[in-house]
Structures are given as C-alpha cells and as structure tokens.
Amino acid sequence: MASTSVKEIIKTSPAFTHLTELASERLGGKVLYATDDFFAEKENLIKPGRGIFIVDEYTDRGKWMDGWESRRKRTPGHDWCVVQLATLGKITGFDIDTNFFLGNHPPFASIEAVNMQGKVTPDNWETIEWKEILPKSPLDPGSQNFFEINSNESFTHLRLHIYPDGGVARLKVYGEVDKDWNEVTIAEEIDLAAAINGGKSIACNDMFFSSMQNLIMPGRGVNMGDGWETKRNRQPNNVDWVKIKLATEGMIKKIIVDTAHFKGNYPDRCSIEACNSKNDEDVINNKVIWQTILSEKKLNADFIHAFESESTELPFTHVRLNIFPDGGISRLRLLGNKKKA
C-alpha cells in the first residue's frame, strides 16, 4: 500500500477540519461523564488520531477497542456522554468517527451544547438546559461522519447522544477559540501563537510526517510524531516553512523553538518573519510585507532554544517560520503582549 502524508489526508476532509480542535485532550478537553462505558473508556473519545485496532487484544470484559463503547442496551433509552471543551469556543463542525466500529457502531447520534463558563459543575447533568446543535443524524460504520454546524453561539460543554448504544472511536469538535481579550492587560505576557489562546497554523509547504497544528499545542511534544516534520528534501538550498496566525495582534518579545525528540532529523537552522495583515488569504499568497524578527539561527537536536525578537515594538498578526533545509520542530512559542487599544 502506498504511503499517505498528513497533508493528503487533510485534503479529503471538509474545510472546517482546518480549524481548532476544541475538545482535544491535548488542548485540555475532558470527558466528564458517560451513562455507560463498559467495553471501552469514555476518555478515548478525545485522544489524537482516529483510533487503532489490535486483532487479538481482549480485556476481561471483551474485545479491546480504541474508543468509547457501551454495552448492548436491554432497557429503554440510549447512552450519552458529556465533554468539556478545552476553552470557550464557537463550533463550526463535528467529526463523529466510528473507525473500526463495524458491527457495533451506533446507527444514530445527536449533540447538545451549553455555555457553563463561570458556573459550578452540576451533580446531575440532566438538570442542565442543553441546546440541540446537531439533530439526530445517521452514522456510517467504520467512517468519519462529518457534520457542519451553523451557529454563532459559544459553548463550553457538549453532550453526545448515541442511539441506542455502541461505539464511537473519536469525537472531533472544530471551531474558533472565543477568548475575551478585554480580560488580558497590555502588560501581561502571553503566548501569541498558542492554540489555546486562538492561534492557528494556516499554511505550510510540507507536513509529510506530522501536522503543522502540533507546533502550537500545549506542553512539550510527547514523541517525534507530536510536532511538525517535513520529508527529506534533496533540492539545494531548500527552505520549508509554516505560516501561523496569531491569537491576537501583538508585539513579539521572546521566541522559543523546541526540537524535543528530533535528533537525527531536526532542521540545521531556522528563521522567523512576521507581517501585519487583515486577512489570511493575503498571508497565504504572500501579498504582504514580511519583516525578519529572528535572523537565521543554528539549531540543536532535542533542545529548547530561547531567542529574543529582533522587532519588539511593532504589532504583528502572522508569522512565517522557515527551516533549513527540512526536518522537524516540536513546538513554537511566541511570547509577547497584545497591541494597545
């Protein structure tokens, strides 16, 4: 079977899957409750990837499955679970993935949502005034089931209903971080690129081995797959790049380039440019004026590099990270302050 790059996989998905994955465990999402997870734990729902299948793996309760799976329901009703998003967000679409659930997937699902920001976690989730944002919809077995949502509201929690029971490998919730920047002072140092603050990787020339979105995830990378890695390029003077939209317009003071776990495949050097643009398309198509904020620097294997920005007073909206000639970087942090009003 021919290999498939991360970029090729993303091309086959709806446009909303390019947005932030709001429920991701890596970003800080949590599964708080499930009516039943007898066969497979509810926490699997928000793990990375699509889930795996191990042919001869069993537990004392039955076949091991990489997802959330309830037992066969012999009473009236259906199963559901509650997911807390990593942050308040506006939801654009869902992927209810039944990967490897073939004779045991739920035929239907629906999703409700609520904004509980600042409220105490209830003892009984059924007392919450949920709002249905995805009506009862059919699910295909062993498939990514994509649903687009048309809503301008912001939510903190979701309730996934499955009818009547069965297994779902992953629930991906795509949308925009809704951060109140009025609560952030101009003196407060923040990571302007961080996904949890609303930063987004919007374009790159290559991400054959791992996604550009990993660059702005919280924490250090857990392994070599948890970073942005390009394929080996044999062209002389090659430069690979990724473009990131900042969470808010701001001044960049410090730069952290982390090559965690990249040892024989880290880039030899890197540089960073920045611009100020009112839209992403101009940035993607290079219809902007780029300014160097980090001149070409030598990199080391499996190392946290700390640099000072070479332009600390000008406000920027986007950056371009260049790596020479190719390779992998685990995380990029751009520390600074939001622009004065």
Positive or negative torsion for Cα 197, 203, 205, 211: positive
Q: Which residues of the chain have pLDDT under 70?
A: 1-11
Q: Is the dihedral of CA 289, 294, 299, 303 positive or negative?
A: negative
Res 270: pLDDT: 98
Predicted local distance difference test score (pLDDT) of residue 5: 43
Q: Indicate the residue type of 212.
A: M
Q: Which of 13, 55, 24, 40 is nearest to 105 (CA)?
A: 40
pLDDT value of residue 340: 87
Beta bridge partners of 323: 240, 270
CA nearest to 167, candidates 31, 78, 62, 71: 71
The DSSP symbol for 196 reads G
* Global confidence as pTM: 0.90
Domain ranges of the chain: 14-177, 185-338
Contact (Cβ atoms closer than 8 angstroms) between residue 308 and residue 253:
yes
- Rounded Cα distance between 95 and 148, Å, is 9
Contact between 39 and 61 under an 8 Å Cβ cutoff? The reply is yes
> Residue 283 to residues 55, 196, 212, 239, 275: CA-CA distances in angstroms?
46, 22, 16, 17, 8
Encoded tokens for 212:
């550009």
Cα torsion through 201, 204, 206, 212, rounded to 10: -10
Task: Give the pLDDT confidence score for residue 177 in this predicted structure.
Answer: 98
Can you tell me the distance from the alpha carbon of 248 to that of 259, in angstroms, rounded to the nearest whole number? 25
**What is residue 2's predicted lDDT score, i.e. its pLDDT?**
38
Q: Please check whether residue 83 is in contact with residue 160, taking contact to mean a CB–CB distance below 8 angstroms.
A: yes
- The pLDDT value given to residue 12: 72
Q: Give the Cβ contact number of residue 207 at 10 Å.
A: 23
pLDDT of residue 4: 36
- Fold designation for 14-177: Jelly Rolls (2.60.120)
* 14-177 and 185-338 have identical folds: yes
At residue 117, the pLDDT reads 94
The architecture in CATH of the region 185-338 reads Sandwich (2.60)
